[in-house]
Structures are given as structure tokens and as C-alpha cells.
Structure 1
Amino acid sequence: MSLNRLAFTATVHCLSGCATGEMLGMVIGTALAWSNVQTIVLAVILAFLFGYAFTMVPLVRAGLAFGAVLKLALAADTVSVPIMEIVDNAIMLIIPGAMDAGLDSFLFWGSPRSRS
């Protein structure tokens, strides 16, 4: 696999992982009726965990050593995930009612949090 393709694949996986973690955190926090702060904290933690994990998969499959993969994922995602999370959560706070929307609401699923 070419280096450019590998980088593209890792980036797509990072974005997918971040979005997956973000959505899972929002769904869990909303379902448990947690406060906005608790829900956001959970979503951010899960975004990091899933982002790192999803980034590492194609690199490990490409045959890179786990230690090198971990260093690459930490270096790349520690910058990109916070930027995505800051933008996503800022938009969520700007959209009236988005943070208070229930799981059965279009606003919950149609707002940026469902597309991180």
C-alpha cells in the first residue's frame, strides 16, 4: 500500500472513530439523562478512544509494528480529535435546543453531533 493511500485510510478511520465515539457518548449520556457537561465529557473520551483505535487498525494491518502505530496514532489524533470536538461541541451549543434534544427527536439525530 502506498504511503499516501495509507495516510488517507488512517485519516478516514480516525474521522470514523471520532464520529462513532462522539455519537455513542451522546446516545449514552442522553439515554441516562446525564447533564450536558457529563454527556460531552463522555463523548469526548469515547471520541479519543475510538479515534485512536480506528486509526491504528489499517496501520497494523499494513504490517507496521504496534509501537510505531501507537506513536503515529497518538501524534496525529491528539491534534485532530480535539479540533473536531471543539468545533462539533461549539456548534451543538449554538443550535437552540440541540443539547437538550431527546433520542426520539429529529433535532438529536439531525444536528452536527450525529455527523461529528
Structure 2
Amino acid sequence: MAESTGSGGHTGHEELHGHDHHGHTGHAGHTGHARKATWGVAASATLHCLTGCAIGEVLGMVIGTALGWANVPTIVLAVVLAFFFGYALTLVGLRRAGVDWRKALRLALAADTLSILVMEIVDNGVMIAVPGAMEAGLTSGLFWGALAFALLVAFLVTTPVNKWIIGRGRGHAVVHAYHH
């Protein structure tokens, strides 16, 4: 993760995680404070989100395409699975950090919903815009090339969104407070 020096000599990583050299940690009660929103932190949060989305998106597109489904049901399945796997990755990390299920679910929904939503709108928009991509078979280079391109565009569009969200002390800035 890229780090930049913030005010008072603290790195972006330290400010993101809410602690300083005096041992003050930014867990639960400090999630409303603004975080240092560097491009590296935003890219890392987006990559985390993209991983879950890509798993769901690829699985949905593969299932829909293999079953010969039309575009709309295939996209619906891909979006549902993208949200499921996007939230699941965040939930796994929060549960490993000892956060109870109810709080972990609330945090995952708050941290990931906007990011996944933007990613899915862009990703599926690109897939629809590439002529023949949705109709191409699973053995087609067009299908896989368009899907890879769609995920790349989604990453590039969603990273500034995540930078803005993190800068407001929301999204993955909240979740990172629990990863210590």
C-alpha cells in the first residue's frame, strides 16, 4: 500500500488506521474522523472491492453464458454475485479481527455498497457497450477480453470514488480500523 507523509510526520497508513506515535488507536469510537485519503490507499480499497466483484462478476457471466441466458438475467446474476462476494471478503476480514457478525455485516454494507454499486454499473455498462461481448461464448477471446477491459475500466472509475469516500472517513477507512 502506498503511503504518504501526512501532517505531524504521520504516514497516510497511520492516519488511515487512526493511530499515532502516542499509542492512541482509532477503533470503534473514532470512525467518524476524516482519514488520509491517498491514491494508494484508494487503489488498495478499490482492488479489495474489485477482487470480490470480479469473482462474482466472472462467475455470474460464466453461469449465464454457459446456460445460454439472455443479457438481462445474466447481468442480474453477475451483479448479485458481485455484491455477495464483495461483502463476503470484507466480512471474512472483520470476523478474523474478532468483530461479531451483526456489527461486521453493518460495517461491510456501509464500507462496500457505494464502491460495489459504481463498479457494477461501470463494469456491466462496458460489457453491454462492447459489440458482441455478451453474446460471445466462454471460449471466445472477445468475451474474456471485454470482461477484463470492463473490470479495468471499473477499477479506474471507482478508485476516485473510494478516495473521496475514504477522505470523508467512510468506506474502507472504517473497516481498516478493525484490521489490527
TM-score, with structure 1 as normaliser: 0.85
Q: Corresponding residue for 2:163?
A: none
2:90 is equivalent to residue 59 of structure 1:
no
* Whole-Å separation in 1 of the counterparts to 2:101 and 2:16: 20
In our comparison, the structure showing a higher alpha carbon Rg is 2
* Whole-Å separation in 1 of the counterparts to 2:143 and 2:65: 9
Amino acid across the alignment from 1:64 = V
Deviation at 1:14, TM superposition (A): 2.8
2:56 is equivalent to residue 21 of structure 1:
yes
* Whole-Å separation in 2 of the counterparts to 1:4 and 1:94: 37
Deviation at 1:115, TM superposition (A): 6.1
2:156 is equivalent to residue 111 of structure 1:
no
Gaps of 5+ in 1: none
Amino acid across the alignment from 1:53 = A
Deviation at 1:75, TM superposition (A): 1.0
Deviation at 1:11, TM superposition (A): 5.5
- Match 1:75 to one of 110, 113, 118: 110
Q: 1:11 to 1:92 in 2, by over 3 A?
A: closer
* Whole-Å separation in 1 of the counterparts to 2:58 and 2:51: 11
Q: 1:12 to 1:64 in 2, by over 3 A?
A: farther
RMSD, aligned α-carbons = 2.2
* Whole-Å separation in 2 of the counterparts to 1:3 and 1:12: 20
* Whole-Å separation in 2 of the counterparts to 1:109 and 1:94: 14
Deviation at 1:50, TM superposition (A): 0.8
Q: Corresponding residue for 1:45?
A: 80
* Whole-Å separation in 2 of the counterparts to 1:3 and 1:58: 20
* Whole-Å separation in 2 of the counterparts to 1:56 and 1:46: 15
Gaps of 5+ in 2: 1-13, 18-40, 152-180
Deviation at 1:12, TM superposition (A): 4.1
Q: 1:58 to 1:115 in 2, by over 3 A?
A: farther
TM-score, with structure 2 as normaliser: 0.57
Q: Which is helix-richer, 1 or 2?
A: 1
Residues 48, 81 of structure 1: 8 Å contact kept: yes
